[in-house]
Structure 1
């Protein structure tokens, strides 16, 4: 990629930005101006479908679940001030804090139960609903106490409940009880910290009133967010991915402000149909063998580590991550085997093979990724065509951060056009009441998916942010999630 034209475009856009009314520098230390990369930010209902990243940031700021994440990606109290786990991990009992809605009315357990039951109800399009099938009942025991009953233990339940998709809010207004109140919904969104104590804002126990924090939040494309940050018109950029990583590196921002999360999740190509060339597992393995992950990823980011397994580690599976059949082969042997497999298949066909359609996002990082993937597949004799993510495709890029450390998330997310036997194994893992049996089903599904090659691992997700030094509470974490109420250190600096 030619960086000089990119830099010229950034500089020109930066000059334009300086004369726009929307580019206003904050004039006091209590105001934090931030950009969330994506479309315009607003309120969204996760029951209606996945939220775009800027809307997730708004939800995490203005609403909260029974629990939520701290700066390190660990679970901390949210609406619930405390909880206990009983009955061998099948019953979670939460005591609701003295929370109030923005209109001053108290939050009670019945409202919370209704909100959570809405997430798991039939027809819910909440992306976390498939991972809550073990929930048997959610009931308000008293106005202050709520119980979640499970069919079998779920050690990762709290991490699920901490996600912004599990925030508690009033469905009609999408208003919640988060650490910030939305004062103005016009861009940039204006949010002000709710009137709570330091104990709620920064984890301090002295009960003194915390200094008020004002946020100015925009959802915007990465190029504008980088301009705004470089010109010292914002304090924080969140939601950076591999797509815009080359732009970030070429923008002239300080390396010391660039923060890369040790994100866990999936980054690879998912098979979307099992017809034609892709009907043969040997052919799908040939695709995986053809890709030199080190060389491809190096085009995008020099220190991006490759991955050849779906699971990052054993997690709650009964076995270590399953390797593909070619896992122990050297680079040259992989290429030779892939070429031979493609040649054998082509020799059996009467008609020319149509190109494999590979769906990637738009952006410089994806362009660089394609300059590695396309020629690699051409090199073993395959015609390929890049298409947008919204188009019908034979393979599509999966780039997702794991919401919890469970093998089921990795395997189900990787499993697009999977063999029915693999889906049956994953379903059996969900309904298994014995932890050991569940772990065995997950291990079997992992091994079967590695053989089936319905997903081609490339790496773990690349997530980056830009952070001013004054936001000393910011911490890199494996969730790549940065609560806006934890941007400052406990002393408010």
Structure 2
């Protein structure tokens, strides 16, 4: 096994020029070897030169605040845990293009792609207890508990990712299957864990790097409701939780029981918790009190990028996320008309909106252009912005009976926080199409509720969101805006009312409920959304990775064509780090980097 590198000048950090982010064409990454095994030669410690790690050092980082760190419920806390408090079977490589061994030292995949067998290394929990395959099984039984509800994408929903395709997992989580023994997760012995899938899934191993699949110490979480507190914490990651001041800070210290402790460089990490949506000053960073911080304010980004010295602190992962609009459910059926949706999409001034920040680009697709073999041909229209797009939008709107926006009902733009992009979207719609748009910024909990409501006729419009994720076709097409989620928002108003009634009917068994929901989604959603779902199902039936990728590309095109979700801009992740912080390389997943990969070179600060 190679060891982590000795401190050296950071090679992963890209020098950032004082210009807008470059185009997507140069950003194609290598594909993932997801049907391979753990013995593929990937460096387990993330290093590249075989030298010994010099331990020592401390850093302070920023993280978005959270109520808890249970990775089985969606909060920002699950990403902090993923960075280094818990460790799953595999980790992503530092650039996010492949996987590397973690608790599993190797694995095999059956010829038909249905069975994945993982062999655990000798590893311990932070209290010294050995980690066993049964611990993973019990963790996943808790994750799939029907009382937790099905996996979702909203705050506090179960974090299980249904697109992993584990046999009978969704059936068990919905209550349709009552015996966990029917789920395709088995401990063959203390160190061997087996997954059986419903169909071949080249994205499965990469999917195991999601926080939902992190192991939890079963005895700890079963025995104490305060298991997340520092005094009760039992983790298996490179760092232990030793202090947590709610809404303020955390302190992490190197875990001596971690299996690869010799290749963990930093002794301790302080985490400053920042409220979502708050404007974070860079003064502590510039005074040396903070070592790693995300930049979100356009003025701060521009200042750092354009400063000859500060630009050396900037790390950019270009086009790693997508800002989008999604159709709300309303008794007003206007947005059920594909022609109207196309007009609204083409009427968005994507170039103007992207111009707010140096780290955004106008988006032609929901799929990020950093996905291997991405191309513009999956976009809903040949030209998504510019004069031609606006002229086509105006023509479509006039043909639908709303010339220059006359008589068009007021649109509502729902968001959980205020953003400059919201005003830019509103301005360009009003300028290009002559329609009136009202911004509706509400508390996050209300935002989640309103997204799910069937609104009255006087409330028509879109909700505003953003997403980033692993740069693979399975993740970007099957998981982000997945088939059920897409079809749900593509339902007619009558279909969505029926969908709600089925969900709320106490007399239905889980099996009956699932069957009726599928019937509703398949027959009462937009035809393009249903065609997309069918192509995704086709992709899951092949073990040939190249063939699956091509099918998923076609599916992505159908999802774009539905225009239920409308891409607005691609966002780049911008993180600043002090020169002495080494090993930082940003990945597309929301955790961005692992603490394990970082070390400190005090000479670099001089």
TM-score between both structures, scaled by the size of structure 1? 0.79
Which stretch shifts more, 274-283 or 180-189?
274-283
Give matches, 1:49-448, under 5 Å: 50-52=74-76, 54-73=77-96, 74-122=98-146, 123-125=149-151, 126-135=158-167, 137-170=184-217, 171-172=221-222, 173-174=227-228, 175-186=234-245, 187-195=248-256, 199-200=260-261, 202=263, 213-221=267-275, 223-224=279-280, 226-238=282-294, 240-241=295-296, 244-249=297-302, 254-273=310-329, 275-301=332-358, 304-312=360-368, 321-324=377-380, 326-328=381-383, 331-346=386-401, 353-363=408-418, 366-367=419-420, 369-379=421-431, 380-388=433-441, 390-391=446-447, 392=450, 394-403=461-470, 405=472, 406=474, 407-412=477-482, 415=486, 417-418=489-490, 420=525, 421=527, 422-423=529-530, 425-426=532-533, 429-430=536-537, 432-435=540-543, 442-443=552-553, 445-448=555-558
Q: Secondary structure at the match of 1:88?
A: coil
> How far 1:287 sits from its partner (Å)?
1.0
Shift in CA distance, 224/347, structure 1 to aligned 2, threshold 3 Å: closer
* 1:22-69 Cα distance to aligned partner (Å, 9 max, x none): xxxxxx972211111x22x56422333x122x5521343211111123
Q: Is the 8 A contact 1:64 1:78 kept in 2?
A: yes
Residues 74-131 of structure 1: CA distance to partner in whole angstroms, max 9, x if unpaired?
A: 4222211222222332221111121212222111111112213433454244334221
1:305, 1:339 → 2: CA distance? 23
- 1:11-22 aligned at under 5 Å gives the runs none
Secondary structure of the 2:196 match is: strand
Give the aligned length: 445
What CA distance in whole angstroms lies between the structure 1 residues aligned with 2:165 and 2:321?
Answer: 21
Asked whether the 8 Å contact 2:249–2:270 carries over to 1, the reply is: yes
Residues 201 and 237 (structure 1), Cα distance of their counterparts in 2 relative to 1, 3 Å cut: farther
Separation (CA, whole Å) in 1 of partners of 2:301 and 2:383? 36
Alpha-carbon distance, 1:317 to partner: 10
Change (3 A) 1:460 1:169: same
**SS of structure 2 residue aligned to 1:485:** helix
1:339–1:381 Cα contact (<8 Å) kept? no
Q: Deviations over 1:361-388 (max 9, x none)?
A: 535xx22x23421121112121101112
Q: Deviations over 1:292-336 (max 9, x none)?
A: 3222201222x5322212334697999984232x42488323222
1:290 positional shift:
1.0
Is contact 1:182–1:190 with CA below 8 Å preserved after alignment? yes
1:232-290 deviations in whole A, cap 9, x for unaligned? 1111114x44xx34344458892221211135343221222363431211111011111
- Inter-partner Cα distance in structure 2 for 1:79 and 1:470: 29
User: Does the 8 A contact of 2:92 with 2:99 survive in 1?
Assistant: yes
In the alignment, structure 1 residue 47 sits paired with structure 2 residue 72? yes
Inter-partner Cα distance in structure 2 for 1:314 and 1:71 = 15
- 2:100 is paired with a residue whose SS is strand
Contact 2:132 2:191 in 1 (8 A): yes
C-alpha spacing 1:164/1:226, structure 2 compared with 1 (3 Å): farther
CA–CA distance in 2 between the matches of 1:361 and 1:258?
A: 28
Mapped pair 1:468 → 2:600: no
Cα deviation digits, residues 181-218 of structure 1 (max 9, x gap): 1111224211101115794564xxxxxxx555111112
Does the CA-based 8 Å contact 1:270-1:396 persist in structure 2? yes
Q: 1:486 aligns with which of 581, 597, 600?
A: 597
In 1, Cα distance between the equivalents of 2:205 and 2:298? 32
Which deviates more, 81-90 or 186-195? 81-90
Distance 1:330 1:228, change over 3 A: closer
| 1:403 Cα deviation from its structure 2 partner | 3.3
Q: What TM-score results when the alignment is normalised by the length of structure 2?
A: 0.65
- Name the CA distance, whole Å, in 1 between partners of 2:94 and 2:535: 35
- The answer as to whether partners of 2:58 and 2:267 remain within 8 angstroms in 1 is yes
